[in-house]
């Protein structure tokens, strides 16, 4: 047996293992704006002081006494059927994301928020281009909710948009309708 024929199966196995690992990594990222992605986003929110601490004041407590705020999001090119929800509650003097997934609560847009944009615009905003003010003013980000409350929280809102780009996601397909 030659050295080449001895190592060939090992080399093939290594290539197959690397391919499988790459495939699993690609599959590991949930679809952007899917319920699993929203759950991951919720976890990331709680680890982002600009959100958990930065929104713990007026933004969080402007809730009509309900004890929570709702943020809904979807990708325009995927439609409203792929909408997800974040539920933000006060916990330990922070704005804590207690739920991310399929919408469960009926929003009240006097205090809650809905944001939607094309996938390419979510990607761009997730990388800081454009910033939150320009995204809203240019119409790249459609927004419903109390605008003055949002404007007073513009710095944490910038962190929110950047977090969209930090939470791993597959944006090649649309989330399933839920």
Q: Spell out the domain ranges in the chain.
A: 1-29, 31-166
This prediction's pTM: 0.82
Question: Taking a C-beta distance cutoff of 8 angstroms, is the pair 37, 80 a contact?
Answer: no
**Binning pLDDT at 50, 70 and 90, where does residue 27 land?**
low
| Cα(114)–Cα(146) distance, integer angstroms | 10
pLDDT > 60? residue 133: yes
Q: Is the dihedral of CA 13, 18, 22, 24 positive or negative?
A: positive
Q: Which of 76, 153, 79, 80 is nearest to 122 (CA)?
A: 76
Quick one: pLDDT at residue 99?
98
Of the ranges 50-54, 125-129, 131-135, which is most confident?
50-54
Confidence of residue 163 (pLDDT cuts 50, 70, 90): very high
Please, what is the average pLDDT of the chain? 86
What are the phi and psi torsion angles at 129 (to 5°)? -130, 105
Q: Which fold has domain 31-166?
A: Nonspecific Lipid-transfer Protein; Chain A (3.30.1050)
d(CA 71, CA 97): 10
- Asked whether residue 8 carries a pLDDT value surpassing 50, the answer given is no
- H/E run at residue 94: strand 94-101
């Amino acid at each position: 047996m030659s050295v080449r024929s001895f190592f060939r199966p090992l080399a093939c196995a290594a290539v197959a293992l690397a391919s499988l690992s790459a495939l699993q990594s690609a599959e590991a990222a949930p679809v952007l704006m899917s319920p699993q992605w929203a759950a991951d986003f919720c976890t990331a929110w709680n680890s982002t002081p600009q959100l958990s601490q930065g929104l713990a004041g007026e933004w969080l407590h402007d809730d009509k006494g309900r004890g929570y705020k709702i943020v809904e999001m979807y990708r325009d090119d995927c439609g409203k059927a792929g909408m997800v929800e974040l539920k933000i509650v006060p916990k330990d003097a922070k704005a804590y994301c207690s739920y991310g997934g399929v919408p469960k609560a009926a929003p009240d847009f006097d205090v809650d928020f809905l944001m939607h944009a094309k996938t390419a615009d979510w990607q761009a905003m997730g990388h800081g281009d454009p910033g939150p003010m320009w995204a809203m003013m240019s119409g790249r980000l459609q927004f419903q909710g109390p605008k003055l409350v949002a404007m007073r929280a513009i710095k944490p809102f910038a962190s929110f948009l950047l977090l969209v780009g930090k939470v791993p996601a597959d944006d090649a397909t649309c989330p399933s309708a839920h």
